[in-house]
Amino acid sequence: ALSIHALKGNARHYHPVISEAKPFPGQAFVAAQITRLLKAKISTRHLEDDSLDALQDPYSLRCTPQVAGVLYDGLEWIRTWVEIEANSSNDNPIFDPATGEILMGGNFYGGHIAFAMDGLKAALASVADMCDRQIMLLVSPNLNRGLPGDLVRKPPHEKGLRHGFKAMSISSSALTAEALKLTMPAASFSRSTESHNQDKVSMGTIAARDAERICTLTERVVAIHLLAAAQACDIRDNTNARPLLSKTMGKIRSVSAPVIEDRAMDKDIENICTAIRYSDFFKIKP
């Protein structure tokens, strides 16, 4: 929502009728949250670009509910599969308590976990990619609808001395590239081992490790995205027209100051990541 505001995006892209026509719960939920955050106390005509070029925003903005909705919906079945696995016996053999019979089986095969983690990897990395594309829109002067390049106001005599969010956008791109690379499904690389006794294995452990890494990478991309969007909104200086968005800005600014002079941003990224993990402010419940 911060990026949409900063880029003078079209708030009607998130109209409920659009989600009613494609009723995935995640899509509808994300669209509703964006609409809630963009709700204004005055007319928003001056907040949006009313040119024909802005009739349809780039996909990374316009399709935010469709992209993030996949992760929202995917977490439901992923959580179900993980809970079933965690509360099951994955041993061999299995003892039937009713009869005392010893049953040889394959409950050790972690196929459901492998596929759940592979699905989680893809959904997380897709969100990282979307945020990275939004960062590119924010820092590019030919795309950001009037914002300064790299989100820094540069006096003519200091044009080459301030870089603003240039390095942050490069970092985001690198993190996203790594996340996307790791989305290769681990379950597709089953190998035969132990003299072909274990001739079909799930690769679930590798999938889970990759999912954990992608989660970390995505968290950092989201943090950079929030910082870039907040910087852009500071430059616009009009978030007060949207009270909930202004509140979001206040939360970000409580842990990270605007970038005026170039500085190291690693602590800012970590501060936002900490807020994402532990602050109720960033936990949006349906």
Distance between CA atoms of residues 242 and 220, nearest Å = 26
With 0-12 / 13-18 / 19 or more C-beta atoms within 10 angstroms meaning exposed / middle / buried, residue 75 is middle
Over residues 78-92, the pLDDT tens digits come to 999 999 999 999 999
Q: Which two tokens stand for residue 39?
A: 């709700």
Q: What percent of the chain has pLDDT over 90?
A: 83
**Which residue, chain included where needed, has tokens 């929030």?**
226
Residue 132: pLDDT band with limits 50, 70, 90: very high
Over residues 202-254, the pLDDT tens digits come to 999 999 999 999 999 999 999 999 999 999 999 999 899 899 999 999 999 99
CATH of the domain at 165: 1.20.200.10
What is the mean pLDDT of the segment spanning 37-46?
A: 77
Distance between CA atoms of residues 20 and 167, nearest Å = 40
pTM of the model: 0.92
Distance between CA atoms of residues 74 and 137, nearest Å = 27
Domain that holds residue 147: 2-282
The total of other beta-carbon atoms located within 10 Å of residue 123's CB is: 24
Cα-trace Rg, the chain: 23
Q: How far, in Å, are 37, 43, 136, 263 from residue 161 at the CA level?
A: 35, 39, 21, 12
For β-strands 102-103 and 94-95, DSSP reports them as antiparallel
Answer whether 69's CB lies under 8 Å from 30's CB: yes
Q: Per the structure, how many domains does the chain have? A: 1
